[in-house]
Structure 1
Amino acid sequence: MNLFSMPLGQMLALSEGEGGLFDFNATLPLMALQFILLTVILTFVFYKPIGNLLEEREAYINGNLSDASAKLLQADELCKQYEEQLKDAKADAQSCIADAETEAKQVVALELAQARKDAASLVEQVNKELEAQKELALKQLEAQIDELSQLIKEKLLGKQAIL
């Protein structure tokens, strides 16, 4: 018999009898017990392990995130320290360079003064030697002039004495 071709009254009569939509006999409590048992079994076998796994995973991720943020803060602090050390090292290097330049200028000034002093003493020594050579040359010339004048005198006087 087809349910679609039946009048509504017959359908209600059939549904109220045995095997209807809501049959309140021993199968309903058995179905409820099966449902509760299935829920308990699934809770212990499936839901709790998955819940624990998800909690562990969340704790692991949160731990890694907190470790990463702590390490990032530590890295930032180290970076700041290294930048300060680099800044100090640059300042020290500039100071050393300035000191070296000052010292080099002093050394150059001292060596230049010494070179000028040596040059002046060398010029003075050369002047003394030239003066001494000049004096010697003048003495030799005077001696030669005296000899020549003596010869000229002798020749002139000697000729006059002969005349």
Structure 2
Amino acid sequence: MEKAALFDFNLTLPAIAIEFLLLMVALDKLYFTPLGKFMDERDAKIRAELGDVKDASEEVRQLEEQAAAVLKAARAEIAAALNKMKKETTQELEAKLEEGRSRVEAELVEALANLEAQKEEAVKALDAQIASLSDEIVKKVLPSA
């Protein structure tokens, strides 16, 4: 009997090596090449979609800027309309207030004129009463002469 050697170089080693190489070539042709081709196609497709998304994101950004500009213009237009309406309302109120003031002043002048006329009438009436009272007092105080 032979002793077992660490490495026994008989026909088994070259047969296993040939099987390994054949298996490697077969796997490369049947499995890894189609898989690599599929992965390359998928990578190219993903990159193309990413490029489309970047283009779309640029369009979205531009649309957002346009929307912001439209909103800003609308807000400015609304503010201008509100200011105009406020000025018109203020002018109308001032005109009505001025009309009311002038009416009140006219009524006040008329009332003062009426009071002045009543005062003069009252003074005339008092003058007449004073004259008659003084005549009566004189008649009573001084006996008839």
Tell me the TM-score normalised to structure 1 length.
0.68
Unaligned runs of 5+ in 2: 1-13
Give the aligned partner of residue 142 of structure 1: 124
CA distance in 1, matches of 2:27, 2:52: 38
The aligned runs of 1:83-162 (5 Å cut-off) are 83-156=65-138, 162=144
Return the alpha-carbon distance in structure 1 between the equivalents of residues 25 and 65 of structure 2: 57
Specify the code of the residue in structure 2 equivalent to 1:92: A
Larger radius of gyration: 1
Distance 1:158 1:45 in 2: 158
**2:33 aligned residue (51, 60, 74):** 51
Query: Percent of aligned positions with the same letter in both sequences?
Result: 9
- Alpha-carbon shift at residue 54 of structure 1 (Å): 1.3
Query: When the two structures are superposed, what TM-score results if normalisation uses the length of structure 2?
Result: 0.76
**CA deviation after TM superposition for structure 1 residue 130, in Å:** 2.0
User: Could you tell me which residue of structure 1 aligns to residue 10 of structure 2?
Assistant: none
Amino acid at match of 1:128: E
In the alignment, structure 1 residue 67 sits paired with structure 2 residue 49: yes
**In the comparison of the two structures, how many residue pairs are matched?**
130
Unaligned runs of 5+ in 1: 1-30
CA drift of 1:115 comes to 0.5
Amino acid in the other structure paired with 1:99: A
State how far apart, in whole Å, the 2-side matches of 1:76 and 1:136 are: 88
The corresponding residue for 2:5 is none
C-alpha deviation, 1:57, in angstroms: 1.2
**Which digits, 9 at most, give the CA deviation of each residue in 1:17-73, with x for residues without a partner?**
xxxxxxxxxxxxxx9xx96x8766533333441111111111111111110110110
RMSD (CA atoms): 2.6
Code of the residue aligned with 1:105 in structure 2: it is K
Distance 2:89 2:20 in 1: 99
**Matched letter for residue 51 of structure 2:** S
Task: Give the secondary structure class of the aligned counterpart of 1:55.
Answer: helix
Greater relative CO, 1 or 2 (CA 8 Å, sep 6+): 1
In structure 1, distance between residues paired with 2:20 and 2:144: 176
